[in-house]
Structure 1
Amino acid sequence: MKTTSSLSRILILVSALLMVSAYFTPLWQISLWAPQYPEGLNMKIWIDRLSGDVDIINGVNHYIGMKHIGQEMFPELQYLVYVFGAIIAFGVLAAILAKRWALYTYLLLLLILGLGVLVDMYLWGYDYGHNLDPSAAIKVPGMAYQPPLIGYKELLNFLAYSGPDTGGWILGASVLLAGLASFREFRAK
């Protein structure tokens, strides 16, 4: 079995250790701006909880029939800490083993995690923005309030933004480092 270079081992180890930041920084953010909220409303999604202006956002969204946002809406928050822990451990193990198959497997795990999170966020946003309470105070026929997956979107008089927060950008760097190590090893063979 082919072994990885010292530089690739260092890249893998740094990649895995960067993922530890997920336990201490918010991974995703959803922000809303409107004339009545010029300073904006923010919701931060962490690996195991929500923070920010969640109660105010719930109060505003109640009028258009959106579901109450709470941690119970995100069962993933109960087990993501373990998923991240397993991937971090495998990344450290891949650096120690110095085998190409371990590096490629580590990168694949990161990519599956990233894709899984994006699909999960899209499905949550779709359900949240389309399954509205029919007895809501404000109804706009044909209007859906699905927040953007990534980027900006106008929702009535609100401008909504969704995208990575500090931890999400760090995780992106982690994936890039693992990708760079994999590319180096693939080219070396």
Structure 2
Amino acid sequence: MKKASLLMILGAILLMGLFKFPLWNIKLGAPQYPEPLGMNIYIDGIQGMNEFDIQNIDGLNHYIGMKTLPKPEEMWEFSVFPIVIGGMAALGFLIGILGYFGEVSYRWFLGWLVLMTILGILGMYDFNAWMIDYGTNLDPKAIMKLQNPDGTPMSYKPPLFGHQKMLNFDAYSYPRLGGYLMGVGMLLTLVAFYIGKRSKMKTNENTI
């Protein structure tokens, strides 16, 4: 059980990487931009990959009526996410410590993982909903008004995950280091659960 608890503690600690490294990245490439434009999405705000990327993206978006990229104070998520991540990291660390001293069972590891998974799904849903609004709720007075072949207004929503062609731009959306650290942390918690379960089964066999 001690080995499982140490993995649980390590998994929780890895979440803290989200306070330093970006969770997600969206990159825009086009022939007129030899070096793609991009933005790194942190749990507390958005930063350009390069110094003027945010200004350039906002400038392009202005022509098609898209909103400017939000500042931290303009989205409640950037205030709540750090609290949620910090709270889950602290809770996971506490569960690991209690498990190490035999105060809680391995089932608590799975409970933490389920809760973290639910919060992650809700976060992705919220992120996708923001991108839908960002890419479809356009200013009717925009300089450029482009339509799909069926006559409906064109959407400029970036993909939630993967690649998508938007006009002459190639949009790429993938996790960054903070997101990978969170994934590894959750995987370690799952491993901790199975190791704890196996340890408990062996203990029960030895007592029979």
Q: Shared fold by TM > 0.5?
A: yes
Query: What is the identity, as a one-letter code, of the residue corresponding to 2:88?
Result: I
Find the residue that maps to 1:63 and give its secondary structure. helix
The RMSD of aligned alpha carbons is: 1.5
Residue 100 of structure 1 deviates from its aligned partner by: 2.4
Task: Provide the rounded CA distance (Å) in 1 between the counterparts of 2:74 and 2:190.
Answer: 33
Residue 139 of structure 1 deviates from its aligned partner by: 1.3
Instruction: Report the equivalent of 2:127.
Output: 121
Conserved 8 A contact 1:107-1:182: no
Task: Provide the rounded CA distance (Å) in 1 between the counterparts of 2:194 and 2:122.
Answer: 23
Instruction: Report the equivalent of 1:84.
Output: 85
Residue 185 of structure 1 deviates from its aligned partner by: 3.7
1:27-70 CA deviation, whole Å, 9 max, x = no partner? 11111001111210011111212111212111101111111112
The more displaced of 109-118 and 161-170 is 109-118
Residue 101 of structure 1 deviates from its aligned partner by: 3.4
**Structure 1 residue runs without a partner (length 5+):** none
Conserved 8 A contact 2:107-2:193: no
Q: Does 1:134 align with 2:135?
A: no
Find the residue that maps to 2:64 and give its secondary structure. coil
Conserved 8 A contact 2:128-2:160: yes
Pick one of 99, 113, 118 that aligns with 1:107.
Answer: 113
Instruction: Report the equivalent of 1:56.
Output: 56
Q: Does 1:175 align with 2:186?
A: yes
Residue 174 of structure 1 deviates from its aligned partner by: 0.7
Task: Provide the rounded CA distance (Å) in 2 between the counterparts of 1:119 and 1:38.
Answer: 32
Residue 109 of structure 1 deviates from its aligned partner by: 2.2
1:77-131 CA deviation, whole Å, 9 max, x = no partner? 1121111111011101111121223212211122022111211111011111111
Instruction: Report the equivalent of 2:36.
Output: 40
Task: Provide the rounded CA distance (Å) in 1 between the counterparts of 2:74 and 2:138.
Answer: 15
Instruction: Report the equivalent of 1:29.
Output: 25
**Number of residue pairs aligned between Structure 1 and Structure 2:** 185
**Structure 2 residue runs without a partner (length 5+):** 100-104, 202-208
Conserved 8 A contact 1:63-1:138: yes
Query: What is the identity, as a one-letter code, of the residue corresponding to 1:83?
Result: V
Task: Provide the rounded CA distance (Å) in 1 between the counterparts of 2:128 and 2:162.
Answer: 13
Find the residue that maps to 2:170 and give its secondary structure. strand
Task: Provide the rounded CA distance (Å) in 2 between the counterparts of 1:39 and 1:69.
Answer: 20
Query: What is the identity, as a one-letter code, of the residue corresponding to 1:89?
Result: A
Residue 186 of structure 1 deviates from its aligned partner by: 4.6
Task: Provide the rounded CA distance (Å) in 2 between the counterparts of 1:27 and 1:126.
Answer: 19
Task: Provide the rounded CA distance (Å) in 1 between the counterparts of 2:20 and 2:179.
Answer: 11
Q: State percent identity of aligned pairs.
A: 41
